[in-house]
């Protein structure tokens, strides 16, 4: 059983609810952060009239959820007001669509600078780029590691951008958080629970990418891992799921964008690069995502895609990114949005 605590509850009131729950059932665990919505999990409890009455009677209790559900803190039912996540000058979930652009992997200072130039020219506010790369083959380029993080920081500062980059293990969290503005949890890590725990216990915003095999419930369950550890700054990213069709790299679940926005108060962005795997499909997929209400887009751009060390086939050239940004600028006002 889950008990939702009001965000206005005092510490004494919260302790009181915990004590009541413990008296009834033996063990109660508190999740969430002071000043935000919190959840008490009452272990081993099923819907029990006596307990419902007793716990509900408390002024600090917003709601009692009689069954275990994978997500609570991410739920719009629990928190109807849309969350805005601020990263540098970007406001995910605000009126403007946020653009993050950059290479799949940081390869060199020159490559990153040219990608950052394209990002700025296209109106991006974040520079993306992997320093630690999760590659299918151990023989593929694994990223520049800490050197890549420093290049990201220096280049982003030079161009007035914020940095979003992937963190692959709990041990990497402190060094990535020290240099990045937003920590990316990749598709392959969505159920790496110790990693979710670690990014949930630090303060930098998190970009949580949907797993290639995640259901919507699993995706939001992973978001709740982060929220329940105290970090409220979570942005979700639809990046395509694996289906039977191998004609494209992934199947872009565009309907997941409005569906997630109904189910959760968290901002939802899309990654048309990984969703399609082909540069020629990135622009139409990006337009579809924007029309479907995405709060942002994260797009791979490379000055020389043919020579990219990872994901070259899906990388836009700088001019293609610029053309897409021009299309979005023309299109978004029809939906009351801007870039």
Binding site for ligand PEP (CB under 6 A): 104, 130, 134, 186-188, 209, 239, 271, 274
| Binds 229: which of ligand PEP, Mn ion, none (CB < 5-8 Å by kind) | none
| Binds 187: which of Mn ion, ligand PEP, none (CB < 5-8 Å by kind) | ligand PEP
Cβ within 8 Å of residue 285, ≥6 positions away: 252, 254, 270, 272, 275, 276
In this complex, which beta carbon is closest to ligand PEP, that of residue 39 or of residue 241?
Answer: 241
CA distance linking residue 139 with residue 146, whole number of Å: 19
Calculate the CA 273 to chain-centre distance: 16
In this structure, the dihedral spanned by the alpha carbons of residues 89, 92, 97 and 103, taken in order and rounded to 10 degrees, is 70
Instruction: Specify the residue for token string 């579809």.
Output: 288
In this complex, which beta carbon is closest to ligand PEP, that of residue 224 or of residue 271?
Answer: 271
Question: What six digits make up the tokens of 212?
Answer: 């290639």
| Binds 239: which of Mn ion, ligand PEP, none (CB < 5-8 Å by kind) | ligand PEP
What is the closest distance, in whole angstroms, from the C-beta atom of residue 260 to ligand PEP in the complex? 16
CA distance linking residue 291 with residue 48, whole number of Å: 45
What is the closest distance, in whole angstroms, from the C-beta atom of residue 291 to Mn ion in the complex? 24
| Binds 211: which of ligand PEP, Mn ion, none (CB < 5-8 Å by kind) | none
Do residues 233 and 204 make contact, with C-beta atoms less than 8 angstroms apart?
yes
In this complex, which beta carbon is closest to Mn ion, that of residue 238 or of residue 311?
Answer: 311
Instruction: Specify the residue for token string 């309907």.
Output: 255
In this complex, which beta carbon is closest to ligand PEP, that of residue 58 or of residue 188?
Answer: 188
What is the closest distance, in whole angstroms, from the C-beta atom of residue 171 to ligand PEP in the complex? 19
| Binds 148: which of ligand PEP, Mn ion, none (CB < 5-8 Å by kind) | none
Do residues 250 and 222 make contact, with C-beta atoms less than 8 angstroms apart?
no
- Nearest residue to the partner ligand PEP, using Cβ: 186
Question: What six digits make up the tokens of 300?
Answer: 């791979």
Site residues for Mn ion per CB under 5 A? 104, 311
CA distance linking residue 306 with residue 313, whole number of Å: 7
- φ/ψ of 217, rounded to 5, equals -60, -40
What is the closest distance, in whole angstroms, from the C-beta atom of residue 104 to ligand PEP in the complex? 5
In this complex, which beta carbon is closest to Mn ion, that of residue 224 or of residue 300?
Answer: 300
What is the closest distance, in whole angstroms, from the C-beta atom of residue 11 to ligand PEP in the complex? 39
| Binds 186: which of ligand PEP, Mn ion, none (CB < 5-8 Å by kind) | ligand PEP
CB atoms within 10 A of CB 153: 18
């Amino acid at each position: 059983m889950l008990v939702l605590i009001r965000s206005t509850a005092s510490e004494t009131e919260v302790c009181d609810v915990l004590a009541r729950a413990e008296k009834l059932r033996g063990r109660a665990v508190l999740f969430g952060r002071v000043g935000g919505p919190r959840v008490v999990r009452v272990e081993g409890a099923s819907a029990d009239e006596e307990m419902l009455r007793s716990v509900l009677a408390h002024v600090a209790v917003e709601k009692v959820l009689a069954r275990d559900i994978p997500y609570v803190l991410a739920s719009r039912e629990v928190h109807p007001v849309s969350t805005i996540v601020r990263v540098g000058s970007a406001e995910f979930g605000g009126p403007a669509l946020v653009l993050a652009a950059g290479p799949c992997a940081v390869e060199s200072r020159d490559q990153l600078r040219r990608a950052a130039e394209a990002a700025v020219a296209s109106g991006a506010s974040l520079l993306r780029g992997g320093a630690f790369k999760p590659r299918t083959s151990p023989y593929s380029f694994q990223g520049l590691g800490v050197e890549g993080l420093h290049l990201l920081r220096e280049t982003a500062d030079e161009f007035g951008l914020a940095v979003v980059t992937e963190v692959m293990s709990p041990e990497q969290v402190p060094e990535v958080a020290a240099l990045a503005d937003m920590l990316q949890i990749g598709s392959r890590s969505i159920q790496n629970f110790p990693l979710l725990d670690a990014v949930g216990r630090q303060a930098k915003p998190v970009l949580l990418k949907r797993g290639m095999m995640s259901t919507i419930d699993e995706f939001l369950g992973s978001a709740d891992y982060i929220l329940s550890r105290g970090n409220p700054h979570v942005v979700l990213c639809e990046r395509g799921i694996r289906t039977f069709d191998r004609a494209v790299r992934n199947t872009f679940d565009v309907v997941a964008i409005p569906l997630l926005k109904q189910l959760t108060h968290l901002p939802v962005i899309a990654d048309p690069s990984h969703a399609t795997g082909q540069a020629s499909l990135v622009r139409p997929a990006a337009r579809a995502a924007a029309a479907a209400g995405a709060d942002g887009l994260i797009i791979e751009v490379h000055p020389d895609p043919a020579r990219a060390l990872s994901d070259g086939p899906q990388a836009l050239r700088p001019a293609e990114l610029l053309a897409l940004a021009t299309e979005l600028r023309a299109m978004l006002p029809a939906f009351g949005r801007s870039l």
